[in-house]
Amino acid sequence: PLILAIESSCDETAAAVTDGTGRLLADVIASQVDFHARFGGVVPEIASRKHIEAICGVCDAALEEAAAALGQPAPLPWNRLDAVAVTYAPGLVGALVVGVAFAKGAAWALDIPFIVANHLEGHLYANKIGAPDFAPPAVVSLVSGGNTLLVHMADWGRYQVLGSTIDDAVGEAFDKVAKALGLGYPGGPAISRFAAQGNPAAIDFPRAMMRSGNLDFSLSGLKTAVVNYVNQQRQTGQAVPVADVCASFQQAVVDVQIAKARTALQQTGAPTFCLGGGVAANPVLREAYQQLCAEMGVQLVLPPLSSCGDNAGMIALVALDRYRAGKFAPLDADAAAGANLEEPY
Ligand code: ATP
Ligand code: MG
Ligand code: FE
Asked if the model's pLDDT at residue 291 lies above 90, the reply is: yes
From the alpha carbon of 172, which atom of ligand 1 is closest? 18
pLDDT score for 54: 97
**Closest residue to atom 7 of ligand 1, CA basis:** 145
pLDDT score for 165: 98
Ramachandran region, residue 111 (left: φ > 0; alpha: ψ -120 to 50; beta: rest): left
Specify whether the CB–CB gap between 51 and 11 falls below 8 A: no
ipTM here: 0.98
Q: What is the Cα–Cα distance from 168 to 163, expressed in whole angstroms? A: 14
Specify whether the CB–CB gap between 185 and 175 falls below 8 A: yes
pLDDT in tens, 133-169: 999 999 999 999 999 999 999 999 999 999 999 999 9
Strand order in the sheet with 158-164: 158-164, 148-155, 138-143, 272-276, 299-301
Which parts are annotated binding residues for Fe cation? Answer: 119, 123, 310
pLDDT in tens, 182-224: 999 999 999 999 999 999 999 999 999 999 999 999 999 999 9
Asked if the model's pLDDT at residue 17 lies above 90, the reply is: yes
From the alpha carbon of 283, which atom of ligand 1 is closest? 27
Phi, psi of 198 (to 5 degrees): -110, 175
Give the chain's mean pLDDT. 97
Q: For residue 10, how far is its CA from the centre of ligand 2 (angstroms)?
A: 6
Residues having CB within 6 Å of any atom of ligand 1: 10, 91, 119, 123, 144-147, 171, 174-175, 186-189, 192, 277-279, 281-282, 309-310
DSSP state of 275: E
Q: For residue 146, how far is its CA from the centre of ligand 1 (angstroms)?
A: 8
**Closest residue to atom 29 of ligand 1, CA basis:** 188
